[in-house]
Amino acid sequence: MAMKRTIDLFILNKWIWIIVFGCAAVIVGPVLIIYLIVLVPAPLKVAATFGIMIGWGVAGGYKDWILAKRQEQKILSKATEA
């Protein structure tokens, strides 16, 4: 009886499923992207590859900008407190 209750709690826990689907997306997503790049004709492979590189660069730049802005706000808030 106690084992059934443990399994029920495990299956009904939403965070377990968020983690499971998140891990699956991390594994399956890049594989699908690579598979699609392999399937497209040669000129589109180059465009897709450059699109991924540009998107990666934009995402990295945005992340750096957000972190810098957060750091700046933290410094300004400390200066106004003092």
Domain boundaries, the chain: 1-39, 41-82
User: DSSP H helical segments within 1-82, as ranges?
Assistant: 2-12, 14-39, 42-81
Are the C-beta atoms of residues 50 and 37 closer than 8 Å to each other?
no
pTM of the model: 0.58
pLDDT digits (tens, 9 = 90+) for 22-75: 999 999 999 998 998 899 998 899 999 999 999 999 999 999 999 999 999 999
Residues sharing a CB contact under 8 Å with residue 38, sequence separation 6 or more, in sequence order: 45
